[in-house]
Amino acid sequence: MAQDWDIRPRSESCHSCGQPFEDRQACFSTLMVGEAGYQRADYCAACRERTSRDRPPYSAWQGVFRKPPPPPEEPLKKETAESLLRRLMETDDPARMNVIFILTVMLERKRILAERDARIREDGEMVRVYEHRRTGETFLIRDPRLRLDQVDAVQQEVAAMLGGASQPAAEDGAQPPAGAEPPPASAEATP
């Protein structure tokens, strides 16, 4: 099943004519389902017209090709939401599906990922198609359809995995955790 999710990133040239994309050129992407799983193809405007007459794709979207800048060197390697998402997706652990979904939503809000499509598979599972805005990589994310009462626990799990676990808010009458600073004297409690 892991090979189903192994989708190559956006190509630097047209799948049909082989012409390299130029910076800021319109690019058309399709996702097809084949024997080897999902297959991505990227086309220039002229070739898209010719290929649109073939069998319809699983998903299709239009984007703008941007030449990726060289990545800046990081003095300290730290776990980011994106690196954690990539690491968890490689494991394909169903127990981490909720965490993967929350990380994806975080990256969408940071405008790193863009949702391109959402499909319901034959088994009833919803799969969302995301594209990395800078690199053009495609991510297929299973939507666990979290209930609102489940989101907080998953967010705390994500924060702990990223190393930023925060102390839970104290309930009324509960003592703050050991070592916690008391609230400032000027703070007033609201009824």
Residue 120, domain member (yes or no): yes
User: Binning pLDDT at 50, 70 and 90, where does residue 6 land?
Assistant: low
Distance CA 73, CA 76 (A): 9
Predicted confidence at residue 5, as pLDDT, reads 60
Distance CA 119, CA 124 (A): 9
**What is the count of structural domains for the chain?**
2
103 and 152 both lie in a single domain: yes
pTM score of the predicted model: 0.53
Residue 186, domain member (yes or no): no
Distance CA 82, CA 141 (A): 14
| Domain extent for 117 | 72-164
Q: Which helix (H) or strand (E) holds 25?
A: strand 25-34
76 and 159 both lie in a single domain: yes
Tell me the per-residue pLDDT of 44-92, one tens digit each, with 9 for 90 and over.
988 887 766 667 788 889 988 988 888 777 664 556 889 999 999 998 8
52 and 131 both lie in a single domain: no
3 and 54 both lie in a single domain: yes
90 and 35 both lie in a single domain: no
Q: Which residues of 55-73 are buried (b: 16+ CB within 10 A; e: fewer)?
A: eebbbbbebebbeeeeeee
Q: Any residues with CB less than 8 A from the CB of 81 and at least 6 apart, and which?
A: 103, 106, 107, 110, 158, 162
Tell me the per-residue pLDDT of 21-38, one tens digit each, with 9 for 90 and over.
999 999 998 888 877 788
153 and 137 both lie in a single domain: yes
Distance CA 100, CA 187 (A): 38
Q: What is the DSSP string of 39-91?
A: EEEEE-HHHHHHHTTSSPPSEEEEEEE-PPPPPPPPSS----HHHHHHHHHHH
